[in-house]
Amino acid sequence: MTTGATSPAVLLVAESPSLVARVEDLLEPWGLLAMQAPPEQALTLVDSGYSRIVLCEMHHNIRLYLERLKAVGAVPIVIGHRPDEYVGEVEYAAKPSELVAAVFRAAGMLAGLEPSGADRVNEFAQAIASKFTLPELVREAIAKTRELCDADGASLLLVDPESGALYFDTVDGSAASSIERIKLQRGQGVAGKVAVEARPRLVPHAKDCPDFDPSFDRKTGFSTGSIVAVPLVLAGDVLGVLMAVRSVERLAFTPVTLHRLVALAPHVAIAVHNVQITTQLRSSQTEVLQVNASLEQKVRDRTDQISRAKQEWERTFDAISEPIALLDGYVIRRTNQAYAKRVRLPVTELPGKTCHQVFANRDTPCPHCPLGKGRGVSLTAELTIPNPSTAKDSHVQLSGYWLHDDPTSNSVVVTYQDVTHSRSLQDRLRESERLAAVGQLASGAAHEINNPVGFVTSNLRSLRGVIDELRGPMTVLSDVIAMVKERRLEELSELVQSLDEPDLQTIEDAVEMIDESLDGARRVSDIVKGLRELSRLEIGRREPADTNSSVTRVVRTEFGDQPPHVSLVLEAAVPADIAPLQLDQALGHLVKNARQATPQKQHIVVRTWSTDDEVMIQVRDEGVGIAKEHLRRVFEPFFTTRGVGKGIGLGLTAAYGIVRRAGGDIEAESDGPNRGSTFTIKLPRAAVAPLANVA
């Protein structure tokens, strides 16, 4: 570098030719060399070591440029009067004599740093950079600051990123114990101003500085005389403030001291930043390690839970007494112990084999097995499978459940329930029920037939007596006829006189007995006809029935066209799944029952409607009604409330059988005698097109 104590080199940053010529004329007699350079080139020349003294022409953006000069280690001197706006601790030269003096003062400051001053800054910077924790770094920086500035005390204040306040991390000096816990709000005191404005500050006399806060002296008992403070700036961010103080008994700090501290500040800023980053990384690493340890513990806990859950599931799976298998298509993935016991193979040998191979001893899937028919088919079926334990075929109920909603997945859980014994019991129960029903029907039929047969037999015996009584008169009549033909009139006269008057009432009684016998024979014929109709399982073709049309036909047949006391409400929108002839027969019995229950032509309503699943037909009358104790028996064979000879009690029974065989149901309701009754038929809907309303 070409800087000396008497003839330093000077960089001149000015655009006015007259100003450049004038400055050169002023400096030349003093042996000062001046070189004109644009602003950016001046920065480069300072950084390359050509010169560190820069003369700057006052302009509107001078503040930013001065900060850039100081950042590269230059000593700027502003040509012109100090403006109203404060632009930092720099030299100003308004007169020629002031310009030369300012240059020599700048040369004196540089002489204080070079070469011995620069060496000390580098030495202190290396010592500070060798610290790896923030407390150690701060203490070292404060110690070196006191030594470098020959100060009575020093401190390093760091900026709180959230509030912008300054806090004393560590203080060195006689007042350290009183300052350590003090925090400065944003912009408070000299240090606060330095942090906000991001520029160095020299306060020769603290008492004359409006930014000086005397409360610190009152708290610490220290009498501050002079202050130097520099911001710790890195990448445009202020990290803190490095500050040194002298007491009032000592000489004030000079610009040379400030420049020494300015030279040290970038090294301290870099060291603080590195330590903060390292501390954050260590903290983050500690947090990561803690989180990892927590996650590892959670993983271990969750693994233990999964392991326990797996064991519990396996034990539950094996505890089920019915065979269960997890299949992929027909291939076995897993089974329970009951499955292995059924097929007489170890559980470990079953995976990979097909279900029909091990469970049914077949090379191909079982007939009617739903597993290969896709998701659209219900996974239920009853299979006939050989049972190795009994050497006989067993009836097995298969039920499957898809494991996933994915339509491409073939994974399914299958359970097998041996229903052989239950099917046998059901068959025996059905046989018992059939025999009981036959017995009840035979008993009822015998009882109903015995009544007319009894009085028919009695009448026949009576008629035989009448005939025996008529044999004598008939013999006399034969003789009378012979006498008339032979004209034996005298004998005829004697014979007629000997005869008694004939009893014509006997003839009338005989005729009445014959009529009663004929009525009994008709009743027996009706009973036989009802039994024959009740025994029919299927009548006509199995096709959907138009309920509206069926109601219209049956009502017209029973009551004639447009009966005044019968109303039809036909709202069924779909047909019923029942043969039309069967529906006509069932409706015929209900409508006939309603007609018989309304001897005074009370009102009858026949209504149809449909729901999402069923077709409904309702026959409601306002007739004689049904006692509550009789409601549960109205569908029993031969049960009637109309008295002997007025009904055989098979009509409602036949209607009930027809509806139940079609998969429907029939219900009877009544509020009691003379309160009317309601019969409702519920039939499954037929999967065909909707119906048109029938008037």
d(CA 612, CA 496): 88
Residue 537 clears pLDDT 50, i.e. is over it: no
- From the candidate CATH numbers 2.60.40.10, 3.30.450.20, 3.40.50.1000, 3.40.190.10, the one assigned to the domain spanning 324-418: 3.30.450.20
Which pair of structure tokens corresponds to residue 277?
């980053």
Picking from 505-509, 632-636, 660-664, which range would have the lowest pLDDT averaged per residue?
505-509
For residues 140-158, give the mean pLDDT: 86
User: What amino acid occupies position 676?
Assistant: G
The CATH number of the domain covering residues in 9-113 = 3.40.50.2300
Q: Which of 133, 135, 154 is nearest to 145 (CA)?
A: 154
Residue 181 clears pLDDT 60, i.e. is over it: no
At 168 the pLDDT is: 63
Q: What CATH class is the domain 116-282? A: alpha beta
**Which region, left, alpha or beta, applies to residue 221 given φ > 0 means left and ψ of -120 to 50 means alpha?**
left
Q: Helix or strand or coil: residue 27?
A: helix
Any residues with CB less than 8 A from the CB of 62 and at least 6 apart, and which? Answer: 56, 78, 87
d(CA 121, CA 242): 14
The CATH number of the domain covering residues in 547-684 = 3.30.565.10
pTM over 0.85: no
pLDDT-based confidence at residue 86 (cuts at 50, 70, 90)? low
pLDDT-based confidence at residue 6 (cuts at 50, 70, 90)? very low
Each residue's pLDDT tens digit, 51-82: 788 898 887 778 888 888 887 778 888 888 77
Each residue's pLDDT tens digit, 210-260: 888 887 777 777 888 899 999 988 877 888 899 999 988 888 887 777 878
Beta bridge mates, 413? 326, 401
